[in-house]
Each structure stands twice: as structure tokens, then as C-alpha cells.
Amino acid sequence: MKYSEIKTMSELEEAQKQVKRRIRNKGEAVKDSFYEMRESYSPGNMLLSGLRAVSSYIPVDNLLLTTVRRLKRRLSR
């Protein structure tokens, strides 16, 4: 509804309700977006993202496998 078309007080109140409803819905969308962003930027996800970026240059899987094997050997002694 265009505000230039409002002629009565009831139309004005209805337009205000619509604006408040849109603001509330937009606020909920922002909250949801924030929670999704917060989940995707957890320390574990950041570590995995870094490992993926580094793995194209360094054979990270071999390094991790070697590290796990060494730890197993030390723990089994």
C-alpha cells in the first residue's frame, strides 16, 4: 500500500501493522542468518576449512596418518 493512497485512520493503522509485520519478519530472517553463520564458523569448521585449503599444497592426509600411527605406537608401549 502506498502511503499517498491512505485516506482514513483505519487505513493508516493497517499500513502501520503491515510495516511492523515486515520489520518483525526481516528481524527473524536476520537472526536465522546469524545463527547459520555462527554454526558455519565454529572452530572445528574453521580448522577443516584451513586443512582443505592447505591440502592442495601439502599432503595433509599423509601427515595426519603418520601422526596417528606414531601416537598409537607410543600409547601401545
Residue range 4-13, pLDDT digits in tens: 888 999 999 9
- Show the domain range for 30: 3-76
Burial string for 56-69 (b: 16+ CB within 10 Å, else e) reads: eeeeeeeeeeeeee
Residue for grid cell 592447505: 54
pLDDT one-digit tens code per residue, 19-33: 999 999 999 999 999
Taking the model in full, what pTM does it have?
0.49
Band of pLDDT at residue 1, cut at 50, 70 and 90: low
Split into its structural domains, the chain has a count of 1
pLDDT of residue 49: 84
